[in-house]
Structure formats: structure tokens, C-alpha cells
Amino acid sequence: MRALGVLGLGALLAWVPPAPAETYSAMLSIRQALGAEGRLLRLLRTYLQEESDRLSDLARFYNKVQALHQEPAASVDNPLLAFGLIKRLRSDWLNVVYSEAASENTRELQAGFEALRQELPGPEDLEGAAQALMRLQDVYALSVKGLAKGVFEPAGARSPLYRPGQPVTLSADDCFHVGKVAYDVGDYYHSIAWLEEAVDLFRLSYGSWNTEDLASLEDALDHLAFSYFMAGNVSHALSLSREFLRYDPSNLRVARNVAQYEKLLEEQGTAEPGPPRRPDGTRLQTRDAYEELCRSPGTQVRGGGVPRLRCTYETNGSPYLLLQPAKRETVRLRPYVALYHDFVSDAEAETVKALAGPWLQRSVVASGEKQQKAEYRISKSAWLKDTADPAVAALERRIAAVTGLDVRAPYAEYLQVVNYGLGGHYEPHFDHATSGKSPLYRMKSGNRIATVMIYLSSVEAGGSTAFIYANFSVPVVKNAALFWWNLRRNGAGDGDTLHAACPVLAGDKWVANKWIHEHGQEFRRPCGPRPED
């Protein structure tokens, strides 16, 4: 069995075997869900074959009897035919009409499905996936209409952020599901946008019907009308409810709503609030700056025209680096942030991902003295000890050489490997502890002095690392390592390091984090009294 890192924050949680649920919070799990659907497809193919055999047999019986009715007059002269008619009516038709074959086929399909159910996403996954689409809508300023058409173009932009390899669109029922998730938590800003799209699409396809759909035009109108009512737009709630009654005039509840809306409008007149505003549910005071940075393609590295601050080949006095100097790009001086290009090889990145894969668990955040899941961090992670594999040990040696810091336990946490999920992100946070009660101090080696974050994959769009107060972002650069100091020389946290992982718009984002603590670094990064250092 592979040694699993349990030092660092991993030490504080009892290890539990990976839960089958939590599909949406890591791309690896989402890929695994494809396997489950593959098996469902095979089940359905068997069912279709059996049903089609059953129907051909029914058709055979129909054709046989139908042929006898071609000449009804002659058909009973022959005693054999007369017998046949009586036998059919007494026996054959009963067997045909009360055949169990259809329900046996259905039962087999359902039993196969139930056997797989453990592996299928749960309600929290559908909710998480819907929230992810709404997050991408918000952070990247995408219109719901555009998204439903498969277009990832921010409002006012001249080109899309992401061009899918093949066109994919959303159905009316897809949009209904997203809107319903918002509706159920009273978020009428998002429910209106998504249900509006659902209503438009259902209107276009009215009259046709898909087995897989949960909702209909009436359901979408009903929820949309109530969303408008809750958002204070009674006149629009009224007109949608009237449209509903055209399709389903016998619905008493909606008829009562119509009467109530008419009465309200009479009393309150046309004084209505404007369109609903986006909920401020997130804990971000820095939301606008964060989203602005996420939308910008990255101020460094790929920013055509932006002069690079400084690129050097670094040996850092380390014999290790004489052979293969680190390619350092200084991204910012204050706070000090550097990007080391080609820090790992493709093969090393694949090895680290493969080692971590089986151990991935939903990432947690420090909340007071405890750690818990949070909507503002959507990923799964695993801790790898340097003894897990020679590749991890080699990586640790390189981190030590490049940073000049002591990264042996307990001066640093084990390597944390992170796989982001659908719309996976980590809202603005500090890596260092900002309270003396933080679980970070349980390692008894001080606060996190520095962070090394290695990008183990590339993404197709999104996923930049945004430094909010410092006002710059670093895009995902495959195989590069980002380094920054979290603490000033006097040991105080550097507020300018507030940073975030922007939501992944498209792709599979993996990073490896190494958090280096204060203890052990006394002679490597001497303290200084000046707070500005």
C-alpha cells in the first residue's frame, strides 16, 4: 500500500475510504462517471434488443391473424379454421394481451440500474453541477442564452473565452434543472435567467415529448411566474400565469394566483422594483476585483505585449541546479511572486496525478479550529509523502533546491495534490493562518511561510491564479511552479498575498501544493524587523 501523507492538514482528519458520491468536485470523478454511463448504455441496448424481439413477435401474430381476415367469409368454412378462431379467442389473445414479456424486460433494466446506483451521482452532485454553471455564468459574465447555445462569450467581448471542439447545446429541461436549483434556495436572480431560457426552449418544442424530461412548458412557466412574483415583478408573473392557464385551464392553484396578482396590481399600481440583483451570498467583499482578474487572460506570461519583469536562469548555489538551472520568471516584486517554468516534466506530472488519484477526497477549508467542506472551494485533494514514490522525493529535492528552504517534515507539509471539479475554484483566501486558533498550528512548526504551487496540467480556459489586492493573475502554465512568500520577514502575514483559484471554465486542472513552515528556515530566510520586507 502506498504511504499516504498524513502530516500537515491531512493528519487532522481520520482517513475514510473514498465515497462514491461527490462526483462534481473533481474532474477525475466526472471522468469515472462516464464509465458508469457506459454500463447503463449496454443495459439499455440489451433492453432495446429484447423489446424489439418482443415487438417483432407481436407483429408476426398480428400479420398471421390479419391474413385470415382478408377473406372473412371463407375463413370459417374449413373446420380447422373455425377451430383456430375459437382457440385464438379463448387462448391466444389472452396470452398476447397479458404477456409478461414487457414487464420482465423493464424489471431487468431496472435491476441493472439499481445495481449501479451506488456509483451514480447523488442529488448534491446535480445541485453542485448546476451551481457550477451559474458560477461560470457570473464570474465570466456569460449570458444564459449564449450558454444554452453552447457559446462561451462574455458580455461585451469580441471573442469567446472557450471554443468547444464540437457544438453542444442545452435542452429546455437542462435549463429548467439549473433554474430549479436556484429557485429552491430562493435565488430568483438566477432562477429567472435559467427558467426564462427553459420557457423559450419549451415553447419552441411544444407538443413534442421526450421520455427523459422531468419538466414541461407548464412547469417552467409556473416556476418562472413565481420567481417573478417573488422578485416583485407582479405584472410579468401575471402574464406568465395567464399563459399557463391557456395550456392547463383547469389548474385551480394557478387560477387563484392570477386572481391574486390582478388584485395586487390594482392595489399597488405599477410601482415595481427593477430587475432582481445578483445575490450577495458569497463572502466576498472583493468579488468584483476577483472576477475582473479571472476574466482577464492573465497579466503575465502569455500576456502578449506585457514586458516580462525578469527572466533568469537560477542555480541558487545548489549543485543540484548547476546541471539543470531553474527558469525563473519574476512575476511581481511586491508581494514577491515567481514562476519557475518547466519545473516538472510531463512524465513527472502524470506520475504525481496517478499516485494521488485513488486518494482524492473533497478538499476542506479551515473554519475556526475545524475543517469542513465549503462551496467556495470545489476540488478534491490528497496528501503524498515523499516516501510514496521516488518521483515525489525528487520533486521535494527540487523544491528545496529552488527555494533554498528546508522542506523536510515537520518544516513543510506533505505534498498536496489537487484536482478541481466542474467550475472548480477556490475563492480568495490566504494560505497562512490568520488566527492563532488555526488548525495549521497543530503541526507545531509555525505558520506557512511560503507556498510552492505546481501546475500539473493545462486547461482550455479559466483556472488562473488571481492575486486580488496585488491586482494580477497568473494563467495555468503546464509544468510550471508558482512561488510566493506568505509571511513578511517579521513573521506577520502579507495581506497582499490574498489569492484565488478562478473557476475552471473548460478542462481538467491539477496542481500540487507544498506549504513550507516558518520553523527550520531561520538561517535560510533570516527574520527582519522591518514590516515592509
Ligand X SMILES: *[C@@H]1O[C@H](CO)[C@@H](O)[C@H](O)[C@H]1NC(C)=O
Q: What is the 3-state secondary structure (H, E, C) of 351-403?
A: HHHHHHHHHCEECCEEECCEEECECCECEEEEEECHHHCHHHHHHHHHHHHHH
Nearer to ligand X, 201 or 392 (CB): 201
Least spacing, CB of residue 236 vs ligand X, in Å:
4
In DSSP notation, 216-279 reads -HHHHHHHHHHHHHHTT-HHHHHHHHHHHHHH-TT-HHHHHHHHHHHHHHHHHTT----SPPPP
> How far is the C-alpha of 406 from the C-alpha of 313, rounded, in Å?
21
List 135, 236, 398, 425, residue binding ligand X (CB under 6 A):
236
Interaction of residue 233 with ligand X, rule CB under 6 A:
yes
Nearer to ligand X, 262 or 406 (CB): 262
3-state secondary structure of 134: helix
Nearer to ligand X, 228 or 515 (CB): 228
Interaction of residue 332 with ligand X, rule CB under 6 A:
no
Interaction of residue 473 with ligand X, rule CB under 6 A:
no
Interaction of residue 177 with ligand X, rule CB under 6 A:
no
Least spacing, CB of residue 442 vs ligand X, in Å:
36
Nearer to ligand X, 233 or 379 (CB): 233
- Which residues partner with 467 through β-bridges? 472, 499
Q: Which amino acid is at 82?
A: A
3-state secondary structure of 192: helix
Least spacing, CB of residue 471 vs ligand X, in Å:
4
Least spacing, CB of residue 292 vs ligand X, in Å:
7
Least spacing, CB of residue 274 vs ligand X, in Å:
5
Nearer to ligand X, 132 or 337 (CB): 337
Least spacing, CB of residue 294 vs ligand X, in Å:
13
3-state secondary structure of 442: helix
Least spacing, CB of residue 188 vs ligand X, in Å:
12
Interaction of residue 406 with ligand X, rule CB under 6 A:
no
> How far is the C-alpha of 37 from the C-alpha of 54, rounded, in Å?
25
Least spacing, CB of residue 504 vs ligand X, in Å:
22
Nearer to ligand X, 38 or 269 (CB): 269
**Any idea what the Cα angle at residue 177 is, between residues 36 and 277, rounded to 5°?**
135
Interaction of residue 190 with ligand X, rule CB under 6 A:
no
Q: CA-CA distances (angstroms) from residue 333 to 195, 292, 362, 454, 470? A: 47, 22, 34, 20, 10
> How far is the C-alpha of 319 from the C-alpha of 267, rounded, in Å?
83
Least spacing, CB of residue 258 vs ligand X, in Å:
16
Nearer to ligand X, 225 or 512 (CB): 225
| Total residues at interface with ligand X (CB under 6 A) | 7
**What is the enclosing helix (H) or strand (E) of 500?**
strand 499-501
Question: Phi/psi of residue 275, each to 5°?
Answer: -60, 150
Residue with cell 498524513: 6
Nearer to ligand X, 299 or 445 (CB): 299
Site for ligand X in 257-316 (CB under 6 A): 272, 274-275, 299
Nearer to ligand X, 237 or 326 (CB): 237
Nearer to ligand X, 216 or 471 (CB): 471
Beta carbons within 10 angstroms of residue 366's beta carbon: 19
Least spacing, CB of residue 238 vs ligand X, in Å:
10
Residue 408, classified by CB atoms within 10 Å of its CB into exposed (0-12), middle (13-18) or buried (19+), is exposed
**Contact string (CB under 6 A) for ligand X, positions 339-378, x = contact:** ----------------------------------------
Binding site for ligand X (CB under 6 A): 233, 236, 272, 274-275, 299, 471
